[in-house]
Amino acid sequence: MLNNTLTNPLLDDDELIAAIDIGSNSFHLAIARLDHGEVRKVTSMSEKVQLAAGLDEHNILGAAAERRGLECLSRFVARLDSVAPERIRIVATNALRQAKNANDFIERANKILPKPIEVIAGREEARLIYLGVSHTNASSDKRLVIDIGGGSTEFIIGQGFDPLLTESLQMGCVAFTQLFFADGQITETAFNEAIAAARKQVLGISGQYQKAGWSSVVGSSGTIKAVKNVLVSKGWADAQERITYQGIKKLESLLVKIGNVDDIELEGVKEHRKAVFPAGVAVLLATMKVLGVETIVYSDGALREGVMYDMLGRFASEDVRDRSVLALIKRYSVDKKQARQVVRTSRHLLKQVQNDLQLTTDDADVLRRAAYLHEIGLAISHSNYHRHSAYLLGNSDIPGFSQVDQKRMAQLMLSHRRKLKCEMLEQTCTLGGDQLVYLCLLLRLAVLAHHSRSEHELPQMQLVVTDTNCWQITVSTDKQHYAFLYSDLCAEIEQFAKWGVKLSVIEAK
């Protein structure tokens, strides 16, 4: 039902793809080659940027942290010459989710990068992490995956390649360093306070996760990798080189004995990780204690690998975003017949003007999904249902969609009916440029065409764009089931004008 007629071409073997992970502690670049459907990493870079450390008490990102981030991204871009822009994804996590001035950084970064940054929600981050782990460590077991980042920690229970339960908690090695180890001193008191704070957060999800259950536990990303390396070097891991709870308790005692982050000289703890290492250990200790975890296997797969596998799914027409749209249609009991009619008409109109308006395949996908979902707000109330639709799309956790994706979809919801407001034009342009404006107008026309909810064949509609701001639509008026279509379209002339578009409506008899 949701297949796009304007699909991306499949990736060929040996073709390069790349992912950039703008994390709260470190930025990561991974470039990989596709090998028989599997991602084979060929190049990787990682730099400690510590965006989260650059957030002040008001969650304003400081100039120094912003500069470090932009300089790092400039170095990453120099490695991307051999990768086509459409084969690149750039995702940002907790620090930019929290930063009130994130848009300032994103705007400057997007001028450097070949693709725009996608700020992803915590549960979407968790889903992608699981995708990276599950493809890197294949197993049919029901697994708990734990990923301790700089600003947040993700928890996922999944089986095979499917995440079943996802959560993101506001605790990470950078954030907890600032709270409990800011002076660099490693004391028993600091550890106890950090563990207590982490324990309180994990207790909030413990019941649900214990009820779901798991048969094995996997850890990913820098903190857990460093812990594993230290335990193996000290002989505190088990025979399979797994992290053990007793081993971490010994590590805690050792860190307290060392006393200061500057004096950490442990095999497996790189120089840039020393300052945040005790906080990461405290989070891991609390997590294992609350959830009753005795051993953890380390996985090299993490967010950036998950991003690349998710990208492969999109190219192979196995896009999780379409599954999410189907789930929303079912959850909110959308009128499928009406949705399909609006989709068909929006696609028909788009095809006629796509080249003239310079709309891309991605734009077509946005319009198609919005057309399917434009009535989900009816599940709440018929009155102002477009606002309810916008709220649901803007504020739900929807697998596969970035926060910007959801905001753009919400903007389409707000603009597809009733009066257009001049002040909304600027907001729409800010979110998605002229292309999003055009998509809003195309969706308005498609929804209007099916206002009668008739199942009879729609009159012929021809849309021509003589200039991006001059649209002409010709509509046949010979079908009684659409007797008011011509007058309804004429009423849109005033609305389009508010957004700077001259609409002409011609009656074809």
Q: What is the pLDDT of residues 158-209, one digit of tens each?
A: 998 889 999 999 999 999 999 999 999 999 999 999 999 999 999 999 999 9
Please provide the average confidence, as pLDDT, over all residues in the chain: 91
Alpha-carbon distance of 301 to 116, in angstroms, equals 24
Residues ≥6 apart with Cβ < 8 Å to 115: 85, 88, 89, 90
Q: Give the pLDDT score at 5.
A: 38
The band of 301, judged by pLDDT with boundaries at 50, 70 and 90, is confident
Task: List, for residues 9-35, the tens digit of each pLDDT value.
Answer: 455 656 899 999 999 989 999 999 877
For residue range 248-294, list pLDDT tens digits in order: 999 999 999 999 999 999 998 988 899 999 999 999 999 999 999 99
Give percent of the chain above pLDDT 90.
Answer: 71
Task: Determine the pLDDT at residue 12.
Answer: 61
Residue 6 has pLDDT above 50, yes or no: no
CA 312 – CA 300 distance, rounded (Å): 19
How confident is the model over 319-330, as pLDDT tens digits?
788 888 999 999
Transcribe 300-316 into DSSP letters: S--HHHHHHHHHHHHHT
Question: Per-residue pLDDT tens for 87-141?
Answer: 999 999 999 999 999 999 999 999 999 999 999 999 999 999 999 998 888 778 8
State CA 465 to chain mean position distance.
34
Please state whether the predicted TM-score (pTM) of the whole model is above 0.75.
Answer: yes
| Contacts of range 384-392, beta carbons closer than 8 Å, 24 or more positions apart | 386/413, 386/414, 386/416, 386/417, 386/418, 387/413, 387/414, 389/413, 390/414, 392/328, 392/332
Residue 399 has pLDDT above 90, yes or no: no
Start-end of H helices in 137-187:
173-180
DSSP SS3 for 163 = strand
- CA dist., res. 236 & res. 77, Å (int): 40
Residue carrying structure tokens 């190219």: 315
In the chain the domains, ranked by start, together with CATH numbers, are 16-119+306-312 (3.30.420.40), 138-300 (3.30.420.150), 319-508 (1.10.3210.10)
For 6, other C-beta atoms within 10 Å of its C-beta total 16
Contacts 24+ apart (CB under 8 A), 411-415: 411/436, 411/440, 412/366, 412/367, 412/370, 412/374, 412/436, 412/439, 412/440, 412/443, 413/370, 413/373, 413/374, 413/377, 413/386, 413/387, 413/389, 414/386, 414/387, 414/390, 415/440, 415/443, 415/444
